[in-house]
Amino acid sequence: MTVREIYTFLDELSPFALQEGWDNSGLLVGDFSQEITTVVLSIDIDEALIESIPDNALLITHHPIIFGGLKQLQFNQYPAKLLAPMIRKNISNIAMHTNFDQTHLNEYVASTVLGYEVIAKEGFIAYLGVDEPFDTFALKIKRALGLSHIRSVQCHEDIRTCALVTGSGASLMRNIEAECFLTGDIKYHDAMEAKALGLSMIDIGHYESECYFGEILAGHLEKLGLSVIISPSKNPFTYH
């Protein structure tokens, strides 16, 4: 099967046209005519992953390895340090980022991982029916995602509805119409703004909320008869 055939399948599953204007999803490395027998799924790309996968593989990632415009390729710097061995091993790369968030990832985390009914969807934002005390809800989120601790902004004793955006979605907080907002990468000033808005927030982590990318996509790709490997992507952060 060629890269183009797989790309076409992915585009039907989660249209690349849905990606945000600032995003860079699609074929980033490789040739549409390349024949593929092995597909590897991962959130990100690192040196260990490139070393571990076979030559001539297709690497489908959630995050694009090339995000902004490239002005140089210095092989001791990111991302060229990773691109060079990919090219040597003839490894192609397709990124499925904000398009996949909208079509699959947010809803999967809400319903399958957290176990709450999705009562509405607005682009990236999935709304969950909760009807629980804040403390009870926060503890369930912590356990479901395997979080070592909970970072939260509490403005409510009880949560009726909650919005969810996996990854880094704090910039959307002014669009939220719920008591609570679950997202990752919440910064200090995001928390201050949430307090002013009267919006409860729980930081669900960037990696922790997106590490399901591979298991979601694998089920779809296996229908094509391809050999699919889900990479055990590593969180770049360690907690002590």
| 12-52 residue pLDDT tens | 999 999 999 999 999 999 999 999 989 999 999 999 999 99
Residue 113 to residue 145: CA distance in whole angstroms: 7
Q: What is the pLDDT of residue 227?
A: 84
Q: Is the pTM of this model over 0.75?
A: yes
Of 68 and 114, which is predicted with more confidence? 114
**Geometric angle at alpha carbon 14, from 120 and 143, rounded to 5°:** 55
Q: Is 218 exposed, middle or buried (0-12, 13-18, 19+ CB in 10 A)?
A: middle
Task: Count other Cβ atoms within 10 Å, centred on residue 144.
Answer: 16
Q: What is the pLDDT of residue 224?
A: 87
Region 152-161: mean pLDDT is 97
Region 3-13: mean pLDDT is 98
Give which of 56, 64, 62 is closest to 1, Cα–Cα.
56
- 188 pLDDT above the threshold of 80: yes
Percent of the chain with pLDDT over 90: 86
Pairing of the two strands 180-184 and 125-133: unpaired
Q: What is the pLDDT of residue 34?
A: 96
- 233 pLDDT above the threshold of 80: no
Number of H helices, E strands in the chain: 9, 11
Q: Which domains are seen in the chain, by residue range?
A: 3-97+211-230 (3.40.1390.30), 100-209 (3.40.1390.30)
